[in-house]
Structures are given as structure tokens and as C-alpha cells.
A and B are shown apart, each in its own frame.
Chain A
Amino acid sequence: SQKIEQNSEALNIQEGKTATLTCNYTNYSPAYLQWYRQDPGRGPVFLLLIRENEKEKRKERLKVTFDTTLKQSLFHITASQPADSATYLCAPYSGGYQKVTFGTGTKLQVIP
């Protein structure tokens, strides 16, 4: 069965550093991979989508990579700020009439 793995342990980093979060998937060949941010008690908010034919995607301080050989996506936040503290969810998606499946998320804490 499809499996999505995100680091379940919280990631603590110092303000100004680059945070790197990992999303691995198995038994799956998604054409797209989405990343969402979720704050406590609130619904997830979409951040970025990367397609299988894109190696890298950037949006402001965010960078996402997608390695279909390794079946892995990396999510980077550069120059991290305390306001970036949240849980980040990855969501591989095959497109069309397939449903999106969410990973369990990684909690990021940026320490001032």
C-alpha cells in the first residue's frame, strides 16, 4: 500500500538558519507533490506544488525538490524566522481522479 513518511520528530533550528524537511514515499509514483503549512488548530494552507518533471521549485524563501528516483521531496526554508514555526505536510498526488494523500507532517520550531 502507499506509504508517505515525514520525520515525526520535531525539528528545532535557530533563527536565520535553513530548515530542511523530508518527505519520502513508497509504492507510489505521484505526478505532483504538494506542500502545506498547518498552524495549531487550523486547517492546512497550500504552499507549493512541484511536478515530476521539475527538479526544483522556488517561492520566496521556500525551495522544494522532487527526486522521483529516490521517491523523495525536500522542503527548504531559508533564513528561517520564528513565524515559520508550524507543522508542514507533504501530499503526493497522481492527478486526475486520484485523491491527495497527506503525510503526517513535521513540526518545525524556529528558535529566536
Chain B
Amino acid sequence: DADVTQTPRNRITKTGKRIMLECSQTKGHDRMYWYRQDPGLGLRLIYYSFDVKDINKGEISDGYSVSRQAQAKFSLSLESAIPNQTALYFCATSDSRGVSYEQYFGPGTRLTVT
């Protein structure tokens, strides 16, 4: 089974709808991240959490909110989706005790807002 899972994998929604993307991990990592990726813009950090009680805004948090329900779960919400939020969204995890600080990414959620 995959260590970092994301649901749904694909989603088409209409402008103004509320949508939640979910991320779960079995790696036992304390840190979790949400990124979006757009062609030519690379990976941009939306929110990150260094432990269950810690939530931080990334570089593009406007229009998004997150919830860290447990160490293993980190959800991203779009309160009122707009077309320019159409993108590929990735969840990632890392271990603060790791020696290489590597991030493990989920398979991604392709979101289309019409």
C-alpha cells in the first residue's frame, strides 16, 4: 500500500463549490505539507504543519484552509472554488528526525474548477 495517499485523485467541480482534498500517511511522519503545481510555476507551498497542533501558511494560502485531524491526516479545503484554483495538488510528509529531510509525496489530486 502507498505510504502517502490522496483522495480524490481527480475532481471536477463548479465555481463557488466547497471542496475538500484529503491526505493520509502511514509513514509516522510528524510534518505534512500541501502544494499546488501549475505548468511553468513549479511547486508552490499552500500550508504546512510541523505537528498536530501546528499550522502555518505557505506562499499561496489565500482561498484555502487546512485541518490536521491527526498526525496521519491533513486535509485541504477550498471554501469557494474558483477557476484559477485548477491545478495539480500534492500532499507531502517528512520526518523532523530524519537525516536527509526528504519529503515523500502523494500521487496528487488533479482538480478542475469550471
Measuring CB to CB, which residues of chain A are less than 8 angstroms from any residue of chain B? 8, 32, 34, 36, 41-46, 49, 89, 93, 95, 97, 99-105
Contacts and interface: CB of A to CB of B under 8 A. Distances in A.
Interface stretch (B13-21, B38-46, B60-68, B73-81): B38-46
A56 B99 CA distance: 17
5 contacts: A34-B102, A36-B103, A46-B102, A99-B45, A100-B103
A99 to B, nearest CB: 6
Nearest to B107: A43
Nearest to B92: A43
B83 to A, nearest CB: 21
Contacts of A95: 101
Contacts of A104: 40-42
Interface centre among B92, B102, B105, B110 (most CB of A within 10 A): B102
Contact of B106 (A43, A49, A93, A97): A43
Nearest to B59: A101
A41 B92 CA distance: 15
A43 B90 CA distance: 7
Contacts of A42: 107-108
Contacts of B100: 34, 46, 49
A49 B100 CA distance: 6
A46 B45 contact: no
